[in-house]
Chains A and B, each alone.
Chain A
Amino acid sequence: MVGELPEELLEQAKFLLTLPPNQANLRRAVSTAYYSLFHLLVRSTVLKWNEPLHQARIARIFEHERMKKVSGATIKSMGIEIDLGDSTSIEGIIRTELTKVAQAFIILQQARHDADYNLEKPLDPADAMAQVNRANSAFDSWETTRNSEIAKEYLFALLFKEKERS
């Protein structure tokens, strides 16, 4: 159903940064970067169902705001247990990479909203570069952590109302 859409969106975001840095290209790059990560998480979840019809219906359940709140709760639950760059244990690395994915999702969601709707000030090319890179790094982090139990729990929470911040 979703196929390679997440990767295609990420490549499109990178391509937009190679074009003249006008506001249209910069804003589309940031917005596309967010949706690349959004669809990566959606695809990772729906592929747990075998029936394509169910996959399409489940994909429509995702809500951006709830996904943000769950991502915040995930970062909070990792707390001081994350060990950025220092951990040599597989579990430590997995927890750290999942935290990075959750953080990237939150930051990119606001960046996407600003890119699409906030016209008070121009989008800075440096910021567009940083946001697209953030999505790219989140893809790498997700690859490291996606098969872990905590990543599966994260996906479950994104879909079902349970782990929102109180």
Chain B
Amino acid sequence: MPIVASGLVQQDEVRERVKRLQELFTNDPEVARIDHRLAEDWSGDYSLFIDVVLNRTTPNAATVLRLSEQIAAALLRVVRSEELGLHSYLNFVSRPENGR
């Protein structure tokens, strides 16, 4: 499928763009890290999955809403995955109880 080929060929470009996204939030005290992976979505489209790991086990609503808006905007502005033939998905993960 062309979409898969396009995504695979451009893995380095994806990694570079995600790195720029991660750098934007390096100093945000609420963000532990931002992970990414390339995988098929529910319909089989090769896609970019962004997982934002938060620094709190129970983050407050204001923090989640702020980061949700800011990171979604950064996906459009910095990552621009649709240019590369990839949908971007954004999820949040609270810090596990064991702190890892």
Contact = CB atoms under 8 A, between A and B. Distances in A.
Contacts of A144: none
Interface of A: 65, 68-69, 72-73, 75-76, 79-80, 82, 84-85, 99-100, 103-104, 106-107, 109-111, 113-114, 117, 124-127, 129-130, 133-134, 137, 165-166
B11 to A, nearest CB: 19
Main secondary structure of the interface of B (DSSP, over half): mixed
Contacts of A65: 43
A130 B64 contact: yes
Contact of B87 (A84, A106, A114, A125): A106
Contacts, number: 86
B32 interface: no
Main secondary structure of the interface of A (DSSP, over half): helix
A104 B59 CA distance: 22
B2 interface: yes
Contact of B54 (A80, A85, A109, A126): A126
Given A75-B82, A113-B42, A165-B82, 9 more contacts: A76-B83, A80-B80, A104-B72, A106-B88, A106-B89, A110-B41, A110-B42, A127-B93, A130-B64
A72 B80 CA distance: 11
A125 B94 contact: yes
Contacts of A126: 54, 59, 64, 92-94
Nearest to B65: A133
A83 to B, nearest CB: 9
Contacts of A106: 87-89
